Amino acid sequence: MYYISKYNYYLTVGNKYYIYNTISNRYKEFPPAVFNTLQNADRAAVEIIDANYNSILPATIDSDNIEVLLSLRMIYSSVMHEERLLKMAHDSDVVNTAFSSLIILPNLSCNLNCHYCYEKDKNELMSLDQEKTLTSFLTSEVRNKKWLNIRWSGGEPLLSWNKIKRISQQIIDECNKSGCNYSASIITNGTLLSDDKVDDFLKYSVKAAQITLDGDSSLHDKIRHFKSNGQGTFGIIMKNIGQASKKIKIHLRINVDKNNFVNIPHLFDEIASTHLDRDNVQLFCRPVMCSLARTPNTKLFSPSEFLEIEEHLLKWAKERDLQYSFHRGMGNRSFRCCMNAVEGFYISPDLLLYKCPMYIDYDKRHSVGYIDKDGNMKITNIKEFSIGFKNSPYDEHSKCRRCKVLPICNGECFMQRILSPSDENAGCIPEKKSMAEKMKYAIENSLELHAFNRSSFLEI
């Protein structure tokens, strides 16, 4: 007897039939008879039993297809196998100390003046002594790790680029000695990018950059303008993206709210008309959100509303042959973000440790610890440190267990749930609603799913 996975999607693309599974993150074409047998059994079971139980596969499928379905985790020989597999992977990754993911903020300064920024009006800079202390911590850290991933953020990290280069070189040297695998990425507003800096990115293992746009050129320039003279930034950012995309991956974040939504097709037209390497540029759209420290001066989509509109964003991107990104968790780790794992931290310029970036500008009492003068990590707030992984989304009574995208998102975002407590979709990823359309998009374009995995980014 075999049991059908609760995490299958059944997709018809043209006259072909595919099954996609969110645990294996694999899809495959099947004969119509096999496809219909699984889909019909799944539908019938969902109608008559609790969705927490796997439906039974009818004994009408040939042995060859059974082996394929088993290998892709679309069916199981034990009703409990799937539950154990997911919970074990999650629990193991949460406490895995071989992999460390750090988001380092060398400053909280910025050359732009965006109204919704939760670090607005902060000018904190990491001192030379703090830089040396951080370097001591990092070089010691890699001696005990198999993997170290760093995301440089801010503020605007390129305002501290010389500092980042010095730290990076020492990390790379130590990784080469100890055998630790190192990768890095950066979140930048894009205004300070240059050919020289992009060449430096490659030298210092910065393999991807995230850059944000706030609507088409007319709307973006009203929001993202220089502090010094109020001048808009859309033109210079797009020029820099075009140059940088020839050498590195660009993850182009589009902030979406009710004011700019109708202008997104025009924005996509502007992006499509830019001379850029389309293979190296991926769009991902996210709603503008409130933070703990401030409320944006705009009309916001609720989490549930954004789930309803994201398929339109995907459609508009497809029409212009622009790559649209999937959620970063596809085929990657088994926890949501650094808040949900032992070895994930945001490090502020003053070397305090946080589990969520929204706390950095809000209240230092939410710091979970610090790096001392000898370069040692000290955890001082166990309650705050552990709050993100005390409850597993795979626990018996978790509402997330019923959701097909659970193996990808690994549970709701803790902070979004705090900010929108009455919205049933707060903390959920857009794929909860759009996964079927995104998978059809992937299949139609013969896309490898790992190409859309933004695993170097851990932001919410």
- Residue 62 three-state SS: coil
Question: According to the model, what pLDDT value does residue 371 have?
Answer: 98
Instruction: Report the alpha-carbon distance of residue 256 to residue 236 in Å, rounded.
Output: 21
- Nearest partner of 321 among 282, 264, 285, judged by Cα: 282
- Residue 126 three-state SS: coil
**What percent of the chain lies above the pLDDT cut of 90?**
65
Q: How many C-beta neighbours within 10 Å does residue 231 have?
A: 11
pLDDT in tens, 357-401: 888 866 788 999 999 999 999 999 999 999 888 778 888 888 888
Instruction: Report the alpha-carbon distance of residue 158 to residue 166 in Å, rounded.
Output: 13
Helix pair 128-142, 161-178: axis angle to 10 deg: 20
Q: How confident is the model at residue 302 (pLDDT cuts 50, 70, 90)?
A: very high
Instruction: Estimate the share of the chain in helix, then strand, then coil, as percent rounded to the nearest 5.
Output: 40, 20, 40
Q: How confident is the model at residue 187 (pLDDT cuts 50, 70, 90)?
A: very high
CA dihedral 188, 102, 449, 407 (to 10 degrees): -130
- Residue 288 three-state SS: coil
Those residues whose C-beta lies under 8 Å from the C-beta of residue 427, and which sit 6 or more positions away, are: 303, 411, 412, 413, 414, 415, 416, 417, 420
Name the strands in the sheet holding 16-21, side by side, starting at the edge strand that comes first in the sequence. Answer: 8-13, 16-21, 26-29
On the question of pLDDT at 356 being above 80, the answer is yes
- Residue 384 three-state SS: helix
Q: Which two tokens stand for residue 209?
A: 């950059």
Give DSSP secondary structure letters for 316-376: HHHHTT-EEPPPTTTTS-SSSSGGGSTTEEEE-TT-EEESSGGGTTT-GGG--EEE-TTS-
Calculate the alpha carbon distances from 94 to 35, 88, 98, 369, 392 in Å: 35, 10, 11, 19, 10
Domains of the chain: 1-80 (no CATH), 85-459 (3.20.20.70)
26 burial (CB, 10 Å; 0-12 / 13-18 / 19+) is: middle
On the question of pLDDT at 296 being above 80, the answer is no
Q: Which helix (H) or strand (E) holds 172?
A: helix 161-178
Q: Which two tokens stand for residue 57?
A: 């596969």
pLDDT in tens, 258-277: 999 999 999 999 999 999 99
Tokens 């993150």 belong to: 25
Parallel/antiparallel/unpaired status of strands 16-21 and 8-13: antiparallel
pLDDT in tens, 96-126: 899 999 999 999 999 998 877 755 566 799 9
Half-sphere exposure in the Cβ direction for 274 (13 Å, CA): 26
Q: Any idea which of 170-184, 186-200, 424-438 has the lowest mean pLDDT? A: 424-438
Output b/e per residue, 147-179; b: 16+ Cβ within 10 A: bbbbbbbbbbbbbbbebbebbbebbbebbeebe
pLDDT in tens, 42-66: 876 544 444 455 677 777 889 999 9
Query: Please, are residues 426 and 303 in contact by the beta-carbon 8 Å criterion?
Result: yes
Instruction: Report the alpha-carbon distance of residue 431 to residue 307 in Å, rounded.
Output: 8
Average pLDDT of the chain? 89
Question: According to the model, what pLDDT value does residue 229 have?
Answer: 93
Beta strands in 164-224 (DSSP E): 181-187, 206-213
Phi, psi of 102 (to 5 degrees): -125, 135
Instruction: Report the alpha-carbon distance of residue 295 to residue 365 in Å, rounded.
Output: 21
Q: Which two tokens stand for residue 175?
A: 């990784």
Tokens 């695993």 belong to: 455
The arithmetic mean of pLDDT across residues 233-254, rounded, is 97
Beta strands in 86-188 (DSSP E): 99-104, 147-152, 181-187
Q: Which amino acid makes up residue 92?
A: S
Q: Which two tokens stand for residue 458?
A: 């851990």
Q: Which helix (H) or strand (E) holds 28?
A: strand 26-29
